[in-house]
Structure 1
């Protein structure tokens, strides 16, 4: 599909600088821009690419003032990153064909409730008592256990596994290989040193507008439930253990691990490989840097880093000092020898 600069600017309520008739058919990174593509510049550290990119159109912030000549047509908007995301969303909606119907072979238990305009891919399995809302999309090789509820416009991608009694809200996305509602890691130590499995009889709940990445696992509760509250976005290869309560509009990057019965508030950002111990509480608006380890409660409105995680400025000072430890050790050893020499005189 062709998109003209004037049409894009009208959609984004942007200002054109350059040729308004230029057309694009695809998108690109600004550093890899080619003719016929649209790119964006939001981070100032990438500014040098805008003077050499071949992208036909570049979205920029209204505050951007070029220091050299630019060959691309610019569209100035309030927030280039958000505008680019809006364009991608429009492009996907315009080019993606929404499937409907039931492909064969697939299995649907007799008492399953199916909404209107659903899609069920080949080799999918829908267990007894399950309920699928309107316009739900179940892709091939998905397993949905008994008494599962999936809300309207939710998408379960190929190969995902949804355990019995799981509740999934409206407009959720579960990516390939994800497992929702599997047993929590509960074992009771025995006198002979062995472990006896503790039955996990709770459920997992995803509220509306939750997205779960590929190969992420969310355990059911031992009793009660594990819950991911509305609007939270969870990356690939994340583990959320039994009876966790994850608040609204959180974002967790890949390989985050959250131990059982941990409560996380709202609007938090966890970078890759963050680990949280069990039975702790994290407040709201907390940012945890990559590989941070958290073993105790965290108050709201903090930026932490390190393992154990501490306030970011303190952590940076500690890491700077760490670089000088070998030199400091040598200095200390030298001073010790000098002091011993003075004593022996």
Structure 2
């Protein structure tokens, strides 16, 4: 276990130090649980009161934090404590599972597959015909990548991931365990002969660069053309993205949220946990959909929508306040 001084950590974070401490830092921890050899953070003034009871010797804090660190304790002041903690967590992060060989003997790699320099393929993995893996791709054990799919350089595919045929994953992208890329879209129509006729889903999925897809998430292939997840999108665990949906750049979808088919998200859209978006709906760039909301129509750019059915936040909050008053008078 490596120990760091306050000066060494500040060199990384490029902040400025208030106070001093003789303690070295062994790891980060939340403020209530930290010991005197740990570093914590205060990202908002409302958490200042927790510092007095904390045993941490060092805290990364926003510049507007007004309290003093105290005896044998130090603050590292920065513009954004949350972003600084991202850097700090990288410093202390343990190594990912290691590979003894670049391609494990039990991996099945088709002779027509192209494997880039420095790419590692774990035990029990299947790489199908004409798959292309870029340089420095990491594929952990028991992943499946089917025919004619591609994975861009520096991407990571964790165990249990399935990438169906003809799907394309960008560079520096992370697919977390048991996510599924390119399953059939949910397309059925009533049919007198069979009850429900399955509509063939002959499109694919295209995922951009610097994307993360959470564990157990599903991105369905297009009925025709592509389901698209734009550069920089972050998709939480257990999220459903329906066929032919198109996400712009840097969208965020929290856990258990879902897009029906042919939904369009602009750039920078944020969707809260368990929210659901109706098919053929457009959410404008920069819009925010509150957790648990049900969106049945288009949302203008930059607006915040809440509720079920969702409406502009101010409208929904007024409705909730009115209902609360009525309930109090009944």
Class of the TM-score when normalised by the shorter of the 2 chains:
over 0.9
**1:205-242: CA deviation from partner (whole Å, max 9, x where unpaired):** 10101100000000000000000000000000000000
Q: Does 1:250 align with 2:264?
A: no
1: CA distance, partners of 2:34 / 2:20: 17
After superposition, the Cα gap between the structure-2 partners of 1:68 and 1:165, relative to the gap in structure 1 and judged at 3 Å, is closer
Give the distance between the partners of 1:70 and 1:299, measured in 2 at CA: 52
Kept in 2: contact 1:24–1:38 (CA 8 A)? yes
Distance in 2, Cα, partners of 1:34 & 1:79: 23
The equivalent of 1:117 in structure 2 is: 118
| Residue of structure 2 in register with 1:295 after alignment | 296
- Structure 2 counterpart of 1:201: 202
**TM-score normalised by L of structure 1:** 0.91
Structure holding more helix per residue: 1
Task: Give the Cα–Cα distance (whole angstroms) in 2 for the partners of residues 238 and 287 of structure 1.
Answer: 17
Instruction: Please state how far the C-alpha of 1:98 moved relative to its aligned partner.
Output: 5.9
Shift >6 Å, 4+ stretches: none
Please say if 1:191 is aligned against 2:192: yes
8 Å CA contact 1:160, 1:174 repeated in 2: yes
Range moving further from structure 2, 19-28 or 309-318: 19-28
Q: Who is 1:78 aligned against?
A: 79
For each residue in 1:244-268, what CA deviation from the matched residue of structure 2 results, as whole angstroms up to 9, or x when unmatched? 0011001110011101011100011
TM-score by length of 2: 0.95
How far apart, CA to CA, are the structure 1 residues paired with 2:178 and 2:124? Answer: 15
Aligned residues of 2:21 and 2:72 also touching (Cα < 8 A): no
- Structure 2: segments with no counterpart, 5+ residues: none
Once the 2 structures are TM-superposed, how far is the Cα of residue 18 of structure 1 from its aligned partner? Answer: 2.1
How far has the Cα of 1:313 moved from its partner? 2.0
The match for 2:287 is 286
Segment drifting more, 8-17 vs 205-214: 8-17
Contact 1:51 1:70 in 2 (8 A): no
Give structure 1 stretches of 5+ with no counterpart.
331-345
Partner of 1:342: none
Per-residue deviation, residues 280-299 of structure 1 (Å, max 9, x unmatched): 11111111111111111111
CA contact 1:255–1:274 (8 Å) conserved in 2: yes
